Amino acid sequence: MLRLTKSLIIIALGASLAACGDSNNNRSETPPEVVSPPVVSPVVTYEFTIQVSNLTAAQPLSPIAVISHTENMLWEIGSPASTALEVMAEGGNNSDLLAVDFATAVASADAPLPPGSQVTLSLTTEQLDSLKISLATMLVNTNDAFTGLNAIDVSSLAVDEALTFTTFAYDAGTEANSEAAGTIPGPADSGEGFNEERNDVNYVAMHPGVVSQHDGLSSSVLSSQHKFDNPLTQVVITRTQ
């Protein structure tokens, strides 16, 4: 400890000596010609973190997709799901959602989010005006249930300011809620994910919940632990820059 302190003093002395030498030398020289740096308009970026907590008993959430955008919505109650939403809601694959043409920035979790777990994603954009953030993820032990946030306006958030939400369960309306063996991609069944056939109401609505074999659907592969109620997740959106 003593030796360290001495070394620091020596370094400090050396540095101040060097500084003296420099200033002495410069004084006798012609000042350098002033050259204006080329004008570069600075790129202003805005950063947000999105922290998601899975509040369910036994519904892993497929890799969470977040997108920023200034127009459009990922889904609308009463309207048919887009194919990109259907692919995510039936099978947990968010690649088509991340590729929507109106996204200005996207991020994805790299793994499913287990019940009782939390993940934080971040988005960086170059625009704040009219900026919205959307989030979507599948409840994988269901036929086509998903949860998320739809076009949350974050344009008036100050740095370090946060918005907290809880999210509802939605039904993509593209696959009947049979809960049958072979139709559920999550670990409860390891069955089929996306199937382009639409054999349900073909509009997005709130999800009525899963029934399960323990609550009156004898053909269900789900058990009581797979049941869920609103809310599904807690989401905290924080502007960090």
Considering the complex, what minimum distance in angstroms separates the CB of residue 181 from another protein?
15
User: Taking CB under 8 A as the rule, which mask of x and - marks residues 175-194 in contact with another protein?
Assistant: -xxxx---------------
| Beta carbon of residue 228, minimum distance to another protein (angstroms, whole number) | 8
CA distance 233 to 118: 10
For 100, the token pair is 């929507």
DSSP state of 120: E
- Asked if 230 touches another protein (CB under 8 A), the answer is yes
User: Cα separation of 144 and 215, whole Å?
Assistant: 19
If binding means CB under 8 A, how many residues of this protein chain bind another protein? 26
58 near another protein (CB under 8 A): no
Is 82 or 125 the residue whose CB approaches another protein more closely? 82
Tokens of 166: 């809880």
CA-CA-CA-CA torsion sign (125, 107, 49, 132): positive
CB of 222 to another protein, least distance (A): 11
Place of tokens 């889904």: 75
What is the rounded distance in angstroms from the CA atom of residue 63 to the CA atom of residue 70? 23
Cα separation, 121 vs 104, in Å, equals: 15
Residue from 122, 152, 209, 223 binding another protein (CB under 8 A): 209
144 binds another protein (CB under 8 A): no
- Interface ranges with another protein (CB under 8 A): 77-78, 168-169, 171, 173, 176-179, 201, 203-209, 211, 215-219, 229-230
